[in-house]
Amino acid sequence: MESGVEELMPRLLPVDDCDLPEDFDPTVPPRTPQEYLKRVQIEAARCPDVVVAQIDPKKLRKKQTVNISISGCQPAPEGYCPTLQWQQQQVANFSAIRQSLNKHRNHWQSQLLDSNVTMPKPDDEEGWKKFCLGERVYSEIDALSATESLGIDYIKVGFPPLLSIVSRMNQATVTSVLEYLINWFGEKKFTPELGRWLYALLACLEKPLLPEAHSLIRQLARRCSEVRVLEENKNEEQISALNLIICLVSRYFDQRDLADEP
């Protein structure tokens, strides 16, 4: 090794020069301690002083750093902030629903699904969006045709979060589907179909929350607060639904810094 490198990396043990046979081959396993130490010296001398990593830019684009805001929710529009009594009542109702779901989960799991219900695989993000929201919302079609209004086509309007469906979803699937729908909500408008599924998935989340679920529900509450501020027509039913989700995230799941304070 060069003297400059030796100054930065001093030898821990002294190594004396040794006489090696003329047929010494550093590529074969060492037979003596001297041959081993000599081989280490040769390999160290061959190492370059500077090593540059070969980075594939395409892989970096897929794993960009995400900046997560730690701020709270935006205040409700004037006149639309829920009262503390209303919030407490919603938490009590939600708690009762969760207890009932856990108590009867085995019963609902045993119920046969209708022949037209095919649950997507857990990692099928687009499949779950279509399953929950329906092709009409997924494709952003504003109205149903006259023939479609004669009956319910769940492929088009989305499957409701029936107990026989959500009871079959383990925690990993619940978290994944919740993430898919929150990602959707991050760029799209709030719809009743979305609201029903968000409520049902929150009811299925087990406490204590896993870190990824904790991050997701905080993201959801912030998004709800943004949407209700931007609500132009101040639709009371929609704002009430957004208030409900913020209430459950903040007061049932103990994210108190996100709560609406009357």
Q: How much of the chain, in percent, has pLDDT values that exceed 70?
A: 79
The answer to the question of residue 197 being in a domain is yes
Assess if residue 210 is contained within a domain.
Answer: yes
Choose between 20 and 30: higher pLDDT: 30
Q: 86-109, pLDDT tens digit by residue?
A: 999 999 999 999 999 999 999 999
DSSP string, 170-234: -HHHHHHHHHHHHHHHTTS---HHHHHHHHHHHHH--SSPPHHHHHHHHHHHHHHHHHHHH-SS-
Model confidence at 176: pLDDT above 70: yes
- Is 24 within a domain? no
d(C-alpha 226, C-alpha 133), whole Å: 21
In a domain, 223, yes or no: yes
Is pLDDT larger for residue 24 or for residue 190? Answer: 190
Q: How confident is the model at residue 68 (pLDDT cuts 50, 70, 90)?
A: very low
Tell me if 101 is assigned to some domain: yes
Look up residue 40 and give its amino acid: V
8 A C-beta contact, residue 205 and residue 213: yes
Contact call for residues 246 and 224 (beta carbons, < 8 A): yes
Question: b/e string for 14-41 if b means 16 or more Cβ within 10 A?
Answer: eeeeeeeeeeeeeeeeeeeebbeebbee
Domain count, the chain: 1
Distance CA 217, CA 210 (A): 11
Residue 7 confidence class, pLDDT cut points 50, 70, 90:
low
CATH number at residue 93: 1.20.58.1070
Q: Which of 19-23, 97-101, 157-161, 196-200 has the lowest mean pLDDT?
A: 19-23
Does 216 fall in a domain? yes
pTM over 0.85: no
Q: What is the mean pLDDT of residues 40-61?
A: 70
Please calculate the CA angle 224-225-226 and round it to the nearest 5 degrees.
90
The tokens 């609406």 sit on which residue?
260
**Is residue 221 domain-resident?**
yes
Enclosing domain of residue 250: 84-140+153-256
Taking all residues of the chain, what is their mean pLDDT, rounded to a whole number? 84
What is the rounded average pLDDT of the residues 242-258? 97
- Residue 237 pLDDT more than 80? yes
Q: Is residue 3 part of a domain?
A: no
Does residue 3 register a pLDDT over 80?
A: no
